[in-house]
Chain A
Amino acid sequence: MAILLLLLGLLALVLINVPIAVALGIAAVVAMVVSHGADALPNMAIDMYNGANNFPLIAIPLFILAGAIMNTSGISRRLIAFASALLGFVRGGLAMVNVGTAMFFAEISGSAVADVAAIGSVLMPAMKKRGYPGPFTAALTSSAASLAIIIPPSIPMILYAVMADSSVVQLFVAGIIPGVLGGFMMMGVSYWYAVRYNWPVEEAFNLRNLWRAFKEAALAFLLPVIILGGIFGGIVTATEGAGLAVVAAIGVASWYREMNWRQLRTAIVDGVVQTAVVMLLVASSALLGVFLTEAQVPQQLAASIASVTNNPLAVLALLNIFFLVVGLFLHSAAAIILVVPIVMPLVNSVGIDPVHFGLVVTLNLAIGQQTPPVASVLMTACSIAKENIWDVSKANLPFIGVLLAVLMLITYVPAIPLFLVKVFYG
């Protein structure tokens, strides 16, 4: 009963637009005082401090910072030039270049919003000028950018790993095949449209041009090799790999002499704001977590669902529907922080591999980034392309379909995400 009141209170606060992090804190403090009296209040300060004091999460600001530095250093332009030399000869060349660049970029960046801004601001005007319809352009850019959180590194995966007490590195490895698969499927859909509407080819394929574009962008390709190689090879932890990414990004930017200090300062400040927004949620959810754990809520939920079905596939189907609905209304970081700790005992009790489930959650949230009313990536794409959200959402349906198809594949064929994990970590 107390729990029900707590959740209703939380819901009421969120619906009157109290920031979710603060709503969590208020609900938790009220619950704490009601159950333990006002003497429990000092714990509030200590629990919130400890909630944010979390070493693995340091990777979040560092990956955000690395991505920001690369955005200000002309790397996106070089990657686009290379993708154009590689894929521009295909019909609908710029659409291919868009997805291709997003896939390269995803290996450096862990944030889809950052990608859509970096790639979209260059490619969307170019696509529109070449006659691609505006809504299609924004929809493709938006969905392709969501590959950033599936292909490693990935900020939602880092959050999930901490919340579910799972391995970040294994999650990163598990994301590779589904991410690449999603990218190729998006290219396939674009090609179908391109042939149907006779969209233009960009440049004839020329090995010499490709080689020149590759040399121009070579350092940008070195980055993921260093970062992901270091992490997957066990030389550095994911957190340290994020630190390495920052240093490597500064190195590359200085080498290219394209660093703009004013932009960099803005990027750092924005990175801190983005980090703080996520971390305040983590801190205040720690407050609520203490209470929920005491009340054994996650265990009770696990027991009551397990009494209906013990079948992992059925439980995964339920959780998929649940996360898709959650993704409509919640930002991906908030969804992970709120939901994952509550469903983990259920996931563990029916024997679902936490790494497999992490990929399922990530894919669901990638879809959530595309589905209004709350759709961070789609909104960013629309605002850069100056397109109407409704038109873009309609054009986005086939690409959301691609993401859904990948979600179904990884949900019911666990070998797709877990194959590489088995190869690397047996």
Chain B
Amino acid sequence: MLARVRSLYEKLLEAIAVVLMVGLAAEVTLGVVFRTLGHSLVWYDEVAAITLTWITFYGSALAALRGAHIGVPSLVDAMPRSARLAVTLVAEACVIGFFVLLAWVGFSVLDVLATDFLVSIPEVSVMYTQSVIPIGATLFVIAELLRLPEVVRVAAGNGDDGSKGSAS
């Protein structure tokens, strides 16, 4: 049951990831094409930077679900089993606590930002672009909770999950 929820959730986040990445590539290309033709799009760089921000936070939830965020597991891996389990639970609590706080704070500032608007597209409120913080943080918490059983199982086992991702 949990495995199915997790797999559906992963599919959802992956779909968002594909849409955002393809959108970003298309947008930057259009920006270059239009500028070369002498009709620069005024909103091009602002929208591209916002898309990157969305990729950051929606993608972070997906990375959390895959356990891909960069950490230093060496010390924890070397601990005896009971200590490893305890420390892992503390670490998970820190991560979940941070993103619960970020979701709450991010949500509460949206009201304040409702009256700010994008520079290049003054019809759009910053509230909508900034919504990625509370939404992304909430998705992150859900991802972390869905992965928690696996994390606990690995910590209680022989301690090598080998799933750390890397970018370069």
Which residues on A are within 8 Å of B, measured CB to CB?
Answer: 13-23, 25-26, 29, 41-42, 44-46, 48-49, 52-55, 57-58, 60-62, 64-65, 110-113, 149, 155-156, 236, 239-240, 242-244, 246-247, 265, 268-269, 271-283, 329-334, 373-374, 376, 380
Whether B94 pairs with A55 at a CB distance below 8 angstroms is no
Question: Which residues from chain A contact B68 at a C-beta distance below 8 Å?
Answer: 273-274, 277
Query: Is B42's beta carbon under 8 Å from chain A?
Result: no
Q: How far is the CA of A274 from the CA of B166 in the complex (A)?
A: 6
As a 0/1 sequence over residues 91 to 131 of chain B, the CB contacts with chain A under 8 angstroms (1 = contact) are 10011001101100110110010000000000000000010
- 10 A-B residue pairs with Cβ-Cβ distance under 8 Å, sorted by A, are A15-B76, A25-B98, A29-B98, A58-B48, A61-B52, A265-B18, A268-B21, A273-B63, A280-B63, A331-B167
Question: Which residues from chain A contact B17 at a C-beta distance below 8 Å?
Answer: 268-269, 272-273
Which residues on B are within 8 Å of A, measured CB to CB?
Answer: 14, 17-18, 20-22, 24-25, 28-29, 31-32, 45, 48-53, 55-60, 62-63, 66, 68-76, 87-88, 90-91, 94-95, 98-99, 101-102, 105-106, 108-109, 112, 130, 132-134, 165-168
Interface centre among A244, A277, A330, A331 (most CB of B within 10 A): A277
Question: Which residues from chain B contact A17 at a C-beta distance below 8 Å?
Answer: 71-73, 75-76, 87-88, 91
Partner of A52, one of B57, B69, B94: B57
Q: Given that A19-B95, A275-B167 are contacting pairs, would A57 and B69 also be in contact in the complex, using a CB cutoff of 8 Å?
A: no
Question: Which residues from chain A contact B56 at a C-beta distance below 8 Å?
Answer: 52, 275-276, 279-280, 282-283
Whether A45 pairs with B130 at a CB distance below 8 angstroms is yes
Partner of B52, one of A52, A110, A246, A332: A52
Whether B105 pairs with A61 at a CB distance below 8 angstroms is no
Whether A272 pairs with B168 at a CB distance below 8 angstroms is no
Whether A55 pairs with B45 at a CB distance below 8 angstroms is yes
Partner of A279, one of B48, B59, B102, B134: B59
Whether A274 pairs with B165 at a CB distance below 8 angstroms is yes
Q: How far is the CA of A45 from the CA of B110 in the complex (A)?
A: 10
Q: How far is the CA of A58 from the CA of B27 in the complex (A)?
A: 11
Partner of B74, one of A22, A268, A373: A373
Q: How far is the CA of A334 from the CA of B166 in the complex (A)?
A: 10
Whether B168 pairs with A55 at a CB distance below 8 angstroms is no
Residue of A nearest to B10 (CB): A269
Residue of A nearest to B54 (CB): A52
Residue of B nearest to A235 (CB): B36
Residue of A nearest to B67 (CB): A19
Q: Tell me what chain A mostly uses at the interface: helix, strand, loop, or mixed.
A: helix
Question: Which residues from chain A contact B52 at a C-beta distance below 8 Å?
Answer: 52-55, 57-58, 61, 279
Q: Given that A42-B109, A58-B24, A247-B29 are contacting pairs, would A273 and B165 also be in contact in the complex, using a CB cutoff of 8 Å?
A: yes
For the complex of A and B, list the 10 residue pairs with the smallest distance between their C-beta atoms, beginning with the closest.
Answer: A276-B59, A243-B28, A19-B69, A279-B56, A376-B166, A272-B17, A45-B106, A274-B167, A52-B56, A272-B59
Whether B25 pairs with A62 at a CB distance below 8 angstroms is yes
Q: How far is the CB of A386 from chain B (nearest CB, A)?
A: 14
Interface centre among B72, B102, B106 (most CB of A within 10 A): B72
Partner of A110, one of B94, B165, B168: B168
Q: How far is the CA of A14 from the CA of B24 in the complex (A)?
A: 32
Partner of A62, one of B24, B94, B105, B132: B24
Residue of B nearest to A369 (CB): B168
Q: Given that A17-B76, A374-B72 are contacting pairs, would A48 and B62 also be in contact in the complex, using a CB cutoff of 8 Å?
A: no
Whether A279 pairs with B105 at a CB distance below 8 angstroms is no
Q: How far is the CA of A57 from the CA of B49 in the complex (A)?
A: 8
Question: Which residues from chain A contact B98 at a C-beta distance below 8 Å?
Answer: 22, 25-26, 29
Question: Which residues from chain B contact A14 at a C-beta distance below 8 Å?
Answer: 71-72
Partner of A244, one of B32, B57, B73, B108: B32
Q: How far is the CA of A156 from the CA of B108 in the complex (A)?
A: 35
Q: Given that A53-B53, A58-B24, A275-B167 are contacting pairs, would A29 and B101 also be in contact in the complex, using a CB cutoff of 8 Å?
A: yes
Residue of A nearest to B103 (CB): A45
Whether B108 pairs with A42 at a CB distance below 8 angstroms is yes
Whether B69 pairs with A280 at a CB distance below 8 angstroms is yes
Question: Which residues from chain B contact A329 at a C-beta distance below 8 Å?
Answer: 72
Question: Which residues from chain A contact B72 at a C-beta distance below 8 Å?
Answer: 14-15, 17, 20, 329-330, 374
Partner of A156, one of B101, B132, B168: B168
Known: A149-B168, A276-B56, A279-B59. 4 other contacts (CB 8 A): A62-B24, A246-B29, A276-B55, A373-B74
Whether A19 pairs with B70 at a CB distance below 8 angstroms is yes
Residue of A nearest to B92 (CB): A18
Q: How far is the CA of A282 from the CA of B55 in the complex (A)?
A: 13
Whether A273 pairs with B62 at a CB distance below 8 angstroms is yes
Partner of B63, one of A18, A58, A276: A276
Q: How far is the CB of B147 from chain A (nearest CB, A)?
A: 12
Whether A113 pairs with B166 at a CB distance below 8 angstroms is yes
Q: How far is the CB of B70 from chain A (nearest CB, A)?
A: 5
Q: Given that A58-B49, A243-B29 are contacting pairs, would A22 and B95 also be in contact in the complex, using a CB cutoff of 8 Å?
A: yes
Q: How far is the CB of B64 from chain A (nearest CB, A)?
A: 8
Residue of A nearest to B108 (CB): A42
